[in-house]
Amino acid sequence: MRVTLRLILWLVVVASAVVFLFASHEAKQERLQLEEELARRAVVLSESLQDSAEPLLGAGKLDGLKRLVERFADRERLAGVAIFSTDGQTVAVSPRLPAQWQALPETARAAMDQRQSQGAFLEEGEKRWHLQAVPLWKAGEVIGSLTLFHNADYIAQQCANLWRQNFFRLLLHVLLISFTTLLIVQISLLRPLSKTVEWMRGIRLGEGQALEIPKGGLFAPLARELAHLAKNLTAARNAAEQEARLRLAGQTRWTPERLKEQVRNLLKGGPLVVISNREPYLHVRQGRQTRCIVPASGLVTAVEPILRACEGTWIAHGSGDADREAADPSGRLRVPPEEPRYTLRRVWLDKEEEDGYYYGFSNEGLWPLCHIAHTRPIFRVEDWKQYQRVNAKFAEAALDELAGTDSPSVLIQDYHFALLPRLIKEKRPDARVALFWHIPWPNPEAFGICPWARELLNGMLGADLLGFHIQFHCNNFLDTADRLLESRIDWEQFAVNRLGHKTWVKPFPISLAAPPEQTSPVSKENLWKDLGVQAQWLGVGVDRVDYTKGIAERFRAVERFLEKHSNFIGKFTFVEIGAPSRTLLKRYHDLGAELDAEAERINRRFQTRGWKPIVFLQKHHSHEEILPYYRAADVCLVTSLHDGMNLVAKEFAAARSDLGGALILSRFAGASRELKEALLVNPYDIDQVAGAIHYALTMDPGERRSRMAGMRSQIEENNVYRWAANLVTELAQLTPTPSKAPSPAPAAQSRL
């Protein structure tokens, strides 16, 4: 209240001072204008009377002069007229002219002496006068003067009236503006400030965030910083509380803070470089503005805590349409934007390189080759050349970042960079290099289809550590290396010895962060309303639209389920949330249309008014939009034909803090090795999947809760921070060995 009163007082004082000065200035300008106008009228009138008075004075016609001066008395504030001779005698004067002006004034004398018109404002007693005198001529000689006397008191009076009018009018305006400003300040500043103080107090005392911090206006920058500060404070408090609970319970669960400490201790200040195709932050244009967004990626969730802990560097393809503007000339910028902790180095690819390396060799060649999903891989020499060129470009960027550092660590991500480990190792043998392969590794016969299989294997074996999701994929890789390359396989330690260099091959099953707590129940009715469907049971699937995900087989399993259990017709609806992916490739473009047609065929067969069995939402959804479906679903189907891990299965279990819902999981997904409480199925066996749907919907509630509790416990214990810690720990404990370049093979032997 005292702040408000002081603000009001200062506003009134300052406003009054401003109004006073402005009104005074206006009055002064008005006085000058009126004086100029009076002087101008006096000059015109005096010159007019001069023409009449000169002949009369020259002829000595005093009566005529008297009539002349009497006629112009009291006209237009003219107090009188007087005519004087050169010897100072009064020749004629208006009868009402005050006595003090009936003698020769100095102005009249000056006009005769200087032989030109003279004007002046004079103070006489309490009155103000204006005198205008002109010389009278005869035959080129001055014979007298004619003087006009104006009463100028009206000027001061008008200026005073004007000053009062302006002062009070402007004072009223300024006061209205001031009080309006005060009201706006009260609403926009003082109240939000008070609200912010209460909000910060609640955060400090750990009372939650019941109050919402102001988002826009003057508080926008402050709100952003406060939000980040509160987020960090809350995260630190939660981490401390969680650590205390875990210690009390004798558990050792991994958290971001524990991961950071582990990384600091292992790397001992040494640099870490992460290389991936996808960047953790990209800049995109939205209208005239540029936004920095975080792409949905488990990789970002897993690797970012490592880089935040060691101030490392992340090298990635700059794919955002505003990425160049946000980075410096070398492609570097500090991230995250709100709290810079590490460096993002963007590598620029032209369209030909991206088409060949990413869409061509990586996703039309290696992707179907490794997934064995009965889509024929396509290998083109042009794509292979672009793959080599891009791997070399990323190697150049990595070596640039490693320059001047000792014993660096490099963590390479996925099948886009199979050649990169050796390219780096040849130039920096002191570097510890790891490659994590996020997709499956096929058997030797399948991998041998690739015309450049030996070159890919040779590049990968430049790494000190190779990681896969599951041991089965590690075994497949070791078999492949044993079959296709001259090398020695250490099956006891799971390592490959080639050209004096040892590469360890180990499983690191990737996971999620700690499962979030469900803050409020999800209304299934709201979901039905949004979908325009009325049903009782909800099934859900969440995938990229990819031929490896088994979406078509899933649709046919729903069809078979309704055939066998007609009592669920009109009661069970399956919602497939499919994010379009790689639509520039014909196989992916055609797949979207195929799935639309299959869903429509099944719907035409079973749908009734207000209900249909399949809802196919083929568009991108955020995690926040997907979460209500996870939490409301009675069953989630993850029926990949082949998958390295498939985090959707873990996301579903993590979202079910109510221990509800059932998970049907393909035994060909890596997640099936960990989530053994799921209903494991062969996705190609349509009848088995249909039977699993029926079992999930009719399962005993106790069994359902027990299964979900087991899966959630597995995810909580083996979370993404444990994955990252295990990977970095293995890498840091290795002693790097030089990687020798193999002798060039004859052309006939370089193809399989």
Radius of gyration of the chain from Cα atoms? 46
Pairing of strands 118-124, 90-93: unpaired
Here the tokens at position 627 are: 């979460």
Do 302 and 650 meet the contact criterion of CB atoms below 8 Å apart?
no
The one-letter amino acid at 54:
E
- Report d(CA 193, CA 199) in Å as an integer: 10
Residue 748 has pLDDT above 50, yes or no: no
Is pLDDT of 211 > 50? no
Q: What is the rounded distance in angstroms from the CA atom of residue 453 to the CA atom of residue 297?
A: 28
DSSP state of 404: T
608-633 pLDDT per residue, tens: 999 999 999 998 888 889 999 999 99
| pLDDT at residue 740 is higher than 90 | no
Q: What angle do CA 72, 76, 77 make, to 5 degrees?
A: 95
What one-letter code names the amino acid at 214? P
pLDDT score of 752? 32
Cα(751)–Cα(448) distance, integer angstroms: 9
CA distance 694 to 689: 9
Query: CB-based burial of residue 256 (10 Å sphere; 0-12 exposed, 13-18 middle, 19+ buried)?
Result: buried
For residue 638, give the H/E element and its range.
strand 635-638
pLDDT value for 225: 62
Average pLDDT of the chain to the nearest whole number: 87
At residue 515, the pLDDT reads 63
Sheet with 78-85, strands from edge to edge, namely 90-93, 78-85, 141-151, 127-138, 118-124
In Å, the largest CA–CA distance within the chain is 146
In the chain, the amino acid numbered 152 is A
Highest mean pLDDT among 16-20, 149-153, 395-399, 732-736: 395-399
Q: Are 375 and 368 in contact (CB under 8 A)?
A: yes
Q: Please name the fold of domain 527-717.
A: Rossmann fold (3.40.50)
Q: Which two tokens stand for residue 719?
A: 């979370």
SS3 sequence of 24-77: HHHHHHHHHHHHHHHHHHHHHHHHHHHHHHHHHHHHCCHHHHHHHHHHCCCECC
What are the extents of the domains in the chain? 2-6+9-157, 217-251, 268-349+391-507, 527-717
Distance CA 680, CA 490 (A): 33
The contacts of residue 557 (CB under 8 Å, 6+ apart) are 637, 639, 686, 689, 690, 693
2-6+9-157 and 527-717: same fold?
A: no
Tell me the helices (H) and strands (E) count for the chain, helix number first: 24, 23
> According to the model, what pLDDT value does residue 459 have?
97
Exposed/middle/buried for 227, CB within 10 Å: 0-12, 13-18, 19+?
middle
Is the model's pLDDT at 182 over the cut of 80? no
CATH assignment, 268-349+391-507: 3.40.50.2000
The class of domain 2-6+9-157 in CATH terms is alpha beta
